Structure 1
Amino acid sequence: MKSDNIAMEDLPDSKYLKQRRLLTPLMSKKVPPIPSEDERKAYGEYHTNPISRMMFWWLNPILKVGYRRTLTENDLFYLEDRQRTETLYEIFRGYLDEEIARAWKKFQESSDDPREFKLPIYIIPLCLFKTMKWEYSRGILQKILGDCASATTPLLQKKLINFVQVKTFSNVGNTGQGVGYAIGVCLMIFFQVLMLTHAFHNFQISGAKAKAVLTRLLLDKSLTVDARGNHYFPASKIQSMISTDLNRIDLAVGFAPVGFVTIFPIIICIALLIWNVGVSALVGIGVFIANIFVLGLLVSSLMLYREKAMVFTDKRVNLVKELLKNFKMIKFYSWENSYQDRIENARNNEMKYILRLQLLRNFVFSLAFAMPVLASMATFCTAFKITDGKSAASVFSSLSLFEVLSLQFILAPFSLNSTVDMMVSVKKINQFLQHKDTNPNEFSVEKFSDSTLAIKVDNASFEWDTFEDEEKDYEEEAKTKDNIEDEDHNCATETIKGKITVDYKSDSDSISSTLTKGVKTAFPGLNNINLEIAKGEFIVVTGAIGSGKSSLLQAISGLMKRTSGEVYVDGDLLLCGYPWVQNSTIRENILFGLPFNKERYDQVVYSCSLQSDFDQFQGGDMTEVGERGITLSGGQKARINLARSVYADKDIILLDDVLSAVDAKVGKHIVNTCILGLLGGKTRIMATHQLSLIDSADRMVFLNGDGTIDFGTIPELRKRNQKLIELLQHQRDPGQDKEDLSNDLDIQGSTDEGQQIEHADEHKEIVKIIGDEEKAVNALSFQVYYNYCKLAFGKLGYISMLVFIIVSSLETFTQIFTNTWLSFWIEDKFVSRSKNFYMGIYIMFAFLYAIMLCFFLFLLGYFCVKAAERLNIKASRKILHVPMSFIDISPIGRVLNRFTKDTDVLDNELLEQLIQFLSPLFNCF
């Protein structure tokens, strides 16, 4: 949806859009062209001269282009092998397996119960550091050098102030010496900024790589985790971890080192403070140490609130995903208000803990920001009490040292907070990784070679895993469930023997028949199954509803847990089950990555009765089906799914009720031309309720409903299986004779539906349904900020804003006047006043600053949390009442991202950014 306030861009329609910036009128009107794929350049940092690398000049070309027009993918650098996720993941995976093996060996020395094993929380951060140790270590070294330069700069400042004092009052000293001091201060500041800039650049690059590597780790684990793991970590929770938790780890990788390298500038500052003001500096240092202990005590509370908030965050995300997946049904039954109440209830519970977390975090920030003022107050009051006074050079250079110390302690809470968030996220990831992988021996299908048999099932039994409906606390579950195997701890399952293609996918977490789902079911499983199916046979599988027809096909495919016996397959096998389609063109759905063979493609389209459907679409088979196949009917999805399976040309094809969504006429055409025609030489096993098909089958499998089967020819089963006889009698319409029933899908009937094979055009244009994601162009309008402030300040509006401005002004005034009063004290501005007068006023303003700062941060935190809460609720109400057409053309991932990643930015990151922006802004005024 395009906003009225923000210029938006749709890249396919407009290749790029001019940017309107402050200096745009002074620049050439010629817009830089978009480079071709061959003209893209490698990441410039490693291919430039030292000066350019030091000053980041290698970024200038892309910055110039981005200033004049919107950037496209071809404008960006391409990644070399050493920067690619595949390369980094292989390195990380090696370290991870090594550390897990070491932790397991250490655990075995103290315990014999593998169920008690837990992945140490330090393993993932340690492996990430080993993976990126060079650039990360370089960043740490640069941070240390920058901080040391910042800590030693007051030395030159003291010399410069002394020189100015002497030169002013006695006109003694060489001017060149003073200029040298001034240049030295400038160079030290330049070196400090240069080192810190490069340090944070390395940290942020490392964070981005860590996020990419962990995304791959979670995706790989989600494909191999066992049914229990998938029950407690469904797709929505994994998506939440990828979009939210990994983002926090990315942020923490950049901020965590800041808190750990502060020891170096702190030692330098303490030494220089003692040299400047003597032992009185120890009093101020004591204030810093006391604050450190307070910060340490608050860490556990921060982690507790974060963990509690994440429980409701996951619940809210699950509800939103459930809403988006079942939007049509919710609209049909008018359940919008019910879902709105559930989502808002989860959001309100989530925000209770986030508010507490933010207020506690801001209290930590207020202590860090007020620390230099309180420490300098304690130091100078002690110094002036012990001695008659100190020089301006000593006092103000000491103030600079306290500012350096304060900077370290201001960054320390950010580092501490991000580290806490990272450890909570790592703990959650560890819980997921601790689940066992699918045991390949329970789901394997053995390859064998036989001249006559295609499939052999030898006395095999199968079952679905079952779990409690209500999820228990994971910490208790982890102690009682099998979390790791004795033999294998590498999170990667062995390759299933034999080449088996599975065309059975579902976009719903609730589909109980997939490999990775374990839910309560009344189905008892399959017991003592014995089957021998010859090559080229057509087998019909039937039985009462719920007797296990689909389960039998999945058991043969290796998708159902096998408890005993063996399954053997000779040839490549494909299961055609749930009518899943991907968000692509119809042709790409049928080809599914295989090369386009025009002759075979035309045969498949005709045999699956799709040509008449193609004629209905403007783009024919090059029409996009949309997400979840919104442009297709149920029958069209089923036939496209069948066409994909037929085009794959496998030796064995399992068809799971593929005719259920088509009418009798189309079904007859598919049976005659596809199943009995184009697939005539293949081994076919078809599960169906269409009992009229059994006479066309070579043999039949009948499921008795108790987990057993009856296998044989149709005449044999009709004689000996009473349940089959009853089913045939039950499903026969009383007013319909045998001939009418068999004519529904008469295999001897005509196959002419008025269709003819039409040759596919290989160069058709794609007709798009799903729009590309829009991008903001130019700066945000004032209306965006105004609307955010309205949400933040709520009903009181201007009154709340006025209170906030007054508190902010008082906080800034007390901070500035504290130092101003200190200068009055040093120069004894009010001669008639005693030392205690100056000291009392100084102490009063110092404490007033600390109080107003705490009040300012509390108000800012409260307003930001309320804005985030109201904005998210407005978004959820909006999405509940949009027309169905909006959901049809909007990918779920794009919409869901607004309720995961973007909401997390509003809840957590935006407040920290506002603190860093508003504090210096108010100081300017």
Structure 2
Amino acid sequence: METNDENVKKKNPREGANPISALFFLYMIPTFIRNYKRGVQREDIYEPLKAHKSATLGDKLEIIWRNLSRKYDKHALHVALFKVFGFELIFIAIIKLIVEVIVLVVMPMCVDKLVSFYEHRSNATLEETYIYAGVLVGIIFLDALSEHQATLAIMHTCMKLRVSCCSLIYRKSLRLSVTALAHTSVGQVVNLLSSDTSKFDQTFVLYHYAFLGPLETIVGTYLLYRTLGIAAFAGISFLVLFIPFQLYLCKKLSLVRLRTARRTDERVRLMNEILNGIQVIKMYTWEIPFAKLVELARRHEIAAIRSHFIIHSFLFSLQMFITRTCLFISLVVFIAMGATMTADIAYTATSIYSFIRPVMTMLFSFSIASYAEVYTSISRVHEFLTYEEQSVDRVLGNQLSLTCFAPNIYMEDVCAKWVTSSSENTLTNINLDLHGNLLNAIIGSVGSGKSSLLHLILGELCKTFGDLRIQGSVSYASQEAWLFSASVKQNIVFCHEYNEERYEKVLKVCALERDLALLPFGDRTIVGERGKSLSGGQKARINLARCIYRDADIYLLDDPLSAVDSKVGKHIFENCIKNFLKDKMCILVTHQLQFLNQFDNIIVLEDGRIVAEAKFEELQRSGLNFSKILDQHSTEDDHEQEQVSHQNSDPSEIYDQLEDNDNTPLIQNEHLTEGHIKSTVYKGYFKAGGNYFLIFFVAFAFIGNQVVCNAGDYFVSYWVNLEQKAIETNDTVNENIIIYVYGGLTGGTILFAIGHNLLFFMYTMRASVSIHNEVFQRVSQAAMSFYDSNPIGRILNRFSKDIAVIDYYIPYILNSMTEILLMLIGAVVLSSTVNVWFLIPSFGLFILFYFLRIVFLRTSRSVKRIEGINRSPILTHVTASLYGLSTIRAYSAQNLLIQEYDSLQDKHSSAWYLFISASKAFGCWLEMICNLFVSGIIVSLVVIPKGYYGGDIGLVLTQYLGLMGSLQYGMRQWSELENNMISVERILELKDAEAEPIRESKPVPKLWPEFGRIEFVHVCLNYTKDLPILRNLNFTIQPGEKVGIVGRTGAGKTSTVAALFQLYKIEGSIIIDDVDTTKIDLKLLRTKISIIPQDPVLFNGTLRKNLDPFDECNDDVIWNALDQVELKSTVSDSMAGLNINVWENGSNFSVGQRQLICLARAIIRNNNILVMDEATANVDPYTDALIQKTIRNNFSRCTVITIAHRLHTIMDSDRVLVMDAGCVIEFDHPYTLLQQKNGIFSSMVEMTGKNIANKLYCIAEQSFQEMKNK
């Protein structure tokens, strides 16, 4: 459904790489060179490897998942993933184990021989020493190559795990039943796709150390036993004792992760609701209560994240002190047993512990933690996959077009409900037998079950009883138009082949030709997310056109005429419904009773039951109450149909404000920042964590930790050198003092390790909280133009994925990078105490690494940005799909949307694979250079002896060998920090969103506005620089006047309301009761005006919170408001009363009921100015009359502005304002305007037909006489 669907054509160089090129990542060199010169562009992203294809991976996993889901209740997905990817993961782990065991055995042996040579206790010759040095050099190169190849293979497999799970989640979301949809949300699905599945990429890459760690520890214990004897078990025992503690922490981490994920779901769900209803929220001035909801959700989320970081602080700390403590215990026991400490023994043990240290204290615990986190995420995905699906035997099973039989819909005693757990049926005892090419109407009051009956035919409702059979293919037009961000043409053709002849006919019968001629790019015009660039009427007709374009046997049309004016409505009914569909079965839900005499069959619904079914004449003769309703509305001139506001008519140009050369899209492409991350981004992040004193304190803790660690390492060298000197001079060493000092340093290491990690993670958490709160506050206060140009998926992506990066990944990366940097400095300083000349090559190595990092970042940073941008369309696609689920399933378009989703995933996978390949290539090349450097150090120690002690050699070797993997990892983490800081950059970009002006409100009278006089003075409004909407509006509405606003599509009616609420910047002044509202606080202004919006918006939560989010009113006031809109009985019948739960988007209420709830809001607010923005467009005549009656009773003294969708609603207005092309054309009493025979308003009335026009004329005349007699 995306429009920017450029194809990726470049073949991935990995596919044609030879073994040598693949081993050393040489195939990546051209990519680095090319991208260093000009940076990475979107077109530089290669096509995905065949192994990455989302469709292939999704199909494979889905087949196995379906088979296993019948056998396993809780772990079907776990087993399915293992079956699909288990062999790859096990094979990689086995290869990794073999190499690491070889390194573990050979490296300490070589260290032992080299150190022994300098203690003059070895019988090895100089030549043998050269051999040992050469073997040591070779083994470090083998370790480096295997590490990077294995890691890339693991990341590749983890990426495939993620892609397959995401594909499975999306496919499942398209099959969810209505019951399941009631218990999930768009936010939850977004979080599953953006956060949970990302655990495969981010944490599961260390999976193999869960069993490699214990196996390597066993080998290491044997080697330690050979070196230290029984003393080895003392140190190892301490290490083993910590394993249960690590496992306990990992188990707690799993529980914390589950709690965090649920709380993140809630926050993302809230964000999604707020973004979808932001215009209504602003008009109601509900930013504060919704901000408090998000703040509360974020506070709960942060509480879980705090627990997460406390656990991780201890896990991180273990790697710093546990092996040093084990070595201390082993050496102390060794000395206590009467043995003599020598350099070869101390440093052989040190090298073994150093190898075991990252494996058992960091990698093992992280691996267990990653299993816990991934297990939790998979369980959450599994839970989602087990949600109830739409029935396989749904009534649309016979979707093939009929050739020999007539279409048929048969229902016998059918009962159905939206939610299976509900005690009451939505539809009861439905009996229908519709067959042949008949035109059927469904009518009834709000909440009577009209739309539910259509959804029952579609198979969306849960059938609980009865027989239901559908024969023939079905096409469906939903009541609320569903459009996706693509061209008009793509929205109409949708999932079918393009047929030019049929397409042109559909445009004609749906009255779209004129609109397309006036749109800037015709049918290639992008409609924007959810059709935001179009008027309501245009959206409705495009929605209808999609339905009609499909060649089906049965057409279900859910009130498409309510959004069009009388002329267009008549055109659509005559040309589209009656003529174009004359050979089809058509079922039309409608409130337009003037057309009923032209239907073959009419179905009357009341309280979910069919109370009548017959032809028009029979219903007129029947004794049902319907007869009275019908008489009232048909003889009262059928003024139901007079919907004027949205559609085009003859006079005047509608889109003359759109220049033909206007190339500015409404939805702007996501900005791709280029170059390095600016210092202001880092400054913004660190400043968010605290003041300079806190930053200094954290830095001091890090440095203190490294100083204590290096002091302990140096003291071991000092100790063994003392022992060697004592042996050479026949002296003794006071080992008690040695043990006390060494023990004190070890204890200090423990305290600093735990302390600096806790302090650091608390600091980064403060930064995360501060950034989220500041940016959310900015977004919630942003001007409407920001939301118009930024799709919801894009903003959600930043508040889900990017916030997750700031919450979790940046702290880890920053922590490890800082520790490795300090470790490098410490190693260089310690080595320089042995030979100060080591500083020169060390400094040169750092300079070389720095420049290589610049080259790497030029590619990886751009690729990371593109990866983030390629992720946004995925979430936008998912969001759009879930909002249009009924339509998608009605068209059987699931496969098309799955293909499109897979295509979007492939684009993201291409960018991600290029990123990880670049990262691994960079790491491998860095480690090769580092290995050459260390090799040079080793050779210099052997070839250029300078009278070193064994302890000196041991210190240098262990320090530099300890840097082997860490140095390149630290450099990559440094680079990765910049890549992840892109998330901070993207989040902080939202701070630049144009904010609504903050005005110092001038004092206004306490009761303002007391009278409700409204004056527009030279008011102009532009949505964008090139799209002027309102042009120099000048008019005055007197206190208490009832004013209707009418006009054609694009005339500026809704924009006038936007100007009144000042949702956009305006020029000129709007004066209310002598107060210039352009100079007062916006919130003050908006709280004083009530509105019933065009699209009723409800939010997830209780009904009471939807009516009174500030808790300003007592229950009696709310019950009274519900009583006046005749919803009191509906709500009181529920055991929850005012606390009845409102589903996401208010989907458990009909559209009419949602509109009545919005009316109740206006009653509760009790303002002197009321705006009705086409509030009765989608309600039946009874509800329309109820709304009009309620307004007359409750707002008789108020100024009421009605954007008319039905002419009868404004014919008795005090005045009618007629607009066209953003200008006021006519403004007077409707009776006066009707005297102008060539006027626009007069022509609108005439278009309704002779009978209706006469009735409307009588209403206007009567109103005029009453006004004169006052």
By how many angstroms is 1:194 displaced?
Answer: 1.2
The answer to whether the aligner puts 1:421 opposite 2:373 as a matched pair is yes
Q: Is the 8 A contact 1:625 1:632 kept in 2?
A: yes
The answer to whether the aligner puts 1:119 opposite 2:89 as a matched pair is no
Structure 2 residue aligned with 1:552: 453
Cα distance in 2 between the residues matched to 1:97 and 1:668 = 50
Cα distance in 2 between the residues matched to 1:582 and 1:668 = 27
Cα distance in 1 between the residues matched to 2:452 and 2:587 = 13
Cα distance in 1 between the residues matched to 2:786 and 2:62 = 41
Cα distance in 2 between the residues matched to 1:742 and 1:246 = 51
> What does 1:622-633 correspond to in 2, within 5 Å?
622-633=524-535
From 581, 585, 605, give the equivalent of 1:703.
605
Q: Please, which moves more after superposition, 659-668 or 595-604?
A: 595-604
Structure 1 residue aligned with 2:232: 281
Cα distance in 2 between the residues matched to 1:54 and 1:810 = 41
Q: Is the 8 A contact 1:460 1:528 kept in 2?
A: yes
Structure 1 residue aligned with 2:1126: none
Q: Please, which moves more after superposition, 203-212 or 700-709?
A: 700-709
The secondary structure found in structure 2 opposite 1:708 is strand
Cα distance in 2 between the residues matched to 1:99 and 1:552 = 36
The answer to whether the aligner puts 1:834 opposite 2:746 as a matched pair is no
Q: Please, which moves more after superposition, 367-376 or 140-149?
A: 140-149
1:92/1:65 Cα in 2 relative to 1: closer, same or farther (>3 Å)? same
Structure 1 residue aligned with 2:683: 786
Structure 2 residue aligned with 1:675: 577
Cα distance in 2 between the residues matched to 1:626 and 1:542 = 33
The secondary structure found in structure 2 opposite 1:406 is helix
Which segments of 5 or more consecutive residues in structure 1 lack a partner in the other structure? Answer: 1-10, 16-35, 104-117, 469-519, 757-762
Cα distance in 1 between the residues matched to 2:568 and 2:651 = 11
Q: Is the 8 A contact 2:417 2:424 kept in 1?
A: no
By how many angstroms is 1:452 displaced?
Answer: 7.4
Cα distance in 1 between the residues matched to 2:101 and 2:517 = 73
Q: Is the 8 A contact 2:601 2:613 kept in 1?
A: yes
From 491, 500, 513, give the equivalent of 1:611.
513
Q: Which amino acid aligns with 1:369?
A: M
Which segments of 5 or more consecutive residues in structure 2 lack a partner in the other structure? Answer: 654-659, 826-1270
Q: Please, which moves more after superposition, 765-774 or 635-644?
A: 765-774
Query: Could you give the per-residue CA deviations for residues 410-429 of structure 1, whole angstroms, max 9, x where no partner exists?
Result: 21122122111111112222
Structure 1 residue aligned with 2:1191: none
Cα distance in 1 between the residues matched to 2:499 and 2:387 = 43
Q: Is the 8 A contact 2:204 2:367 kept in 1?
A: no
By how many angstroms is 1:764 displaced?
Answer: 12
Q: Is the 8 A contact 1:149 1:189 kept in 2?
A: no
Query: Could you give the per-residue CA deviations for residues 41-65 of structure 1, whole angstroms, max 9, x where no partner exists?
Result: 2461x53222112112122222322
Structure 1 residue aligned with 2:792: 892
By how many angstroms is 1:467 displaced?
Answer: 7.0
1:447/1:574 Cα in 2 relative to 1: closer, same or farther (>3 Å)? closer
By how many angstroms is 1:723 displaced?
Answer: 1.9
Structure 2 residue aligned with 1:540: 441
Q: Is the 8 A contact 2:8 2:45 kept in 1?
A: no
Q: Please, which moves more after superposition, 447-456 or 540-549?
A: 447-456
Cα distance in 2 between the residues matched to 1:451 and 1:597 = 24
Cα distance in 2 between the residues matched to 1:871 and 1:467 = 43
Identity fraction in percent: 24
The answer to whether the aligner puts 1:573 opposite 2:474 as a matched pair is yes
Structure 2 residue aligned with 1:774: 671
Q: Is the 8 A contact 2:562 2:643 kept in 1?
A: no
1:582/1:706 Cα in 2 relative to 1: closer, same or farther (>3 Å)? closer
Cα distance in 2 between the residues matched to 1:532 and 1:598 = 32
1:911/1:743 Cα in 2 relative to 1: closer, same or farther (>3 Å)? closer
From 128, 135, 138, give the equivalent of 1:177.
128
Cα distance in 1 between the residues matched to 2:403 and 2:487 = 39
Query: Could you give the per-residue CA deviations for residues 168-225 of structure 1, whole angstroms, max 9, x where no partner exists?
Result: x99x864332222211111111111111111111111111000011111112222223
Cα distance in 2 between the residues matched to 1:447 and 1:86 = 25
The secondary structure found in structure 1 opposite 2:207 is helix
Query: Could you give the per-residue CA deviations for residues 765-790 of structure 1, whole angstroms, max 9, x where no partner exists?
Result: 98633222223322212221121111
Structure 2 residue aligned with 1:157: 111
By how many angstroms is 1:743 displaced?
Answer: 9.1
Q: Which amino acid aligns with 1:807?
A: A
Structure 2 residue aligned with 1:139: 92
By how many angstroms is 1:800 displaced?
Answer: 0.8
1:88/1:595 Cα in 2 relative to 1: closer, same or farther (>3 Å)? closer
From 303, 322, 327, give the equivalent of 1:352.
303
Cα distance in 2 between the residues matched to 1:571 and 1:435 = 29
Q: Which amino acid aligns with 1:157?
A: V
Cα distance in 2 between the residues matched to 1:752 and 1:627 = 27
Structure 2 residue aligned with 1:909: 809
Q: Which amino acid aligns with 1:93?
A: E
From 50, 54, 64, give the equivalent of 2:33.
64
Q: Which amino acid aligns with 1:125?
A: H
Structure 2 residue aligned with 1:508: none
Cα distance in 2 between the residues matched to 1:208 and 1:254 = 10
Q: Is the 8 A contact 1:539 1:697 kept in 2?
A: yes
The secondary structure found in structure 2 opposite 1:441 is coil
The secondary structure found in structure 1 opposite 2:393 is helix
TM-score, L = length of structure 2? 0.60
Count residues in correspondence: 804
From 647, 670, 695, give the equivalent of 2:549.
647
1:101/1:744 Cα in 2 relative to 1: closer, same or farther (>3 Å)? closer
Q: Is the 8 A contact 1:624 1:766 kept in 2?
A: no
Cα distance in 2 between the residues matched to 1:883 and 1:916 = 40
Structure 2 residue aligned with 1:76: 45
Cα distance in 1 between the residues matched to 2:472 and 2:236 = 77
1:646/1:533 Cα in 2 relative to 1: closer, same or farther (>3 Å)? same
By how many angstroms is 1:259 displaced?
Answer: 2.2
Cα distance in 2 between the residues matched to 1:229 and 1:739 = 45
By how many angstroms is 1:451 displaced?
Answer: 6.6
Q: Is the 8 A contact 1:323 1:330 kept in 2?
A: yes
The answer to whether the aligner puts 1:204 opposite 2:106 as a matched pair is no
By how many angstroms is 1:134 displaced?
Answer: 4.2
From 306, 313, 334, give the equivalent of 2:264.
313
From 20, 23, 30, give the equivalent of 1:51.
20
By how many angstroms is 1:454 displaced?
Answer: 2.4
By how many angstroms is 1:688 displaced?
Answer: 0.4
Cα distance in 2 between the residues matched to 1:37 and 1:219 = 23
From 743, 748, 754, give the equivalent of 1:843.
743
Q: Is the 8 A contact 1:142 1:196 kept in 2?
A: no
The secondary structure found in structure 1 opposite 2:476 is strand
Structure 2 residue aligned with 1:41: 11
By how many angstroms is 1:341 displaced?
Answer: 1.0
The answer to whether the aligner puts 1:599 opposite 2:501 as a matched pair is yes
The answer to whether the aligner puts 1:714 opposite 2:684 as a matched pair is no
Cα distance in 2 between the residues matched to 1:314 and 1:666 = 44
Q: Which amino acid aligns with 2:679?
A: F
The secondary structure found in structure 2 opposite 1:710 is strand
Cα distance in 1 between the residues matched to 2:44 and 2:399 = 49
By how many angstroms is 1:382 displaced?
Answer: 1.1
Cα distance in 1 between the residues matched to 2:522 and 2:68 = 54
Q: Is the 8 A contact 2:566 2:642 kept in 1?
A: yes
Q: Please, which moves more after superposition, 190-199 or 300-309?
A: 300-309
By how many angstroms is 1:559 displaced?
Answer: 2.7
By how many angstroms is 1:92 displaced?
Answer: 2.5
Q: Is the 8 A contact 2:313 2:761 kept in 1?
A: yes
By how many angstroms is 1:388 displaced?
Answer: 4.3
Structure 2 residue aligned with 1:819: 713
By how many angstroms is 1:627 displaced?
Answer: 0.7
The answer to whether the aligner puts 1:455 opposite 2:408 as a matched pair is yes
Q: Which amino acid aligns with 2:599?
A: A
1:43/1:922 Cα in 2 relative to 1: closer, same or farther (>3 Å)? same
Query: Could you give the per-residue CA deviations for residues 552-586 of structure 1, whole angstroms, max 9, x where no partner exists?
Result: 22223333223344444443221111311110111
Cα distance in 2 between the residues matched to 1:458 and 1:692 = 28
By how many angstroms is 1:240 displaced?
Answer: 1.1
Structure 2 residue aligned with 1:582: 484
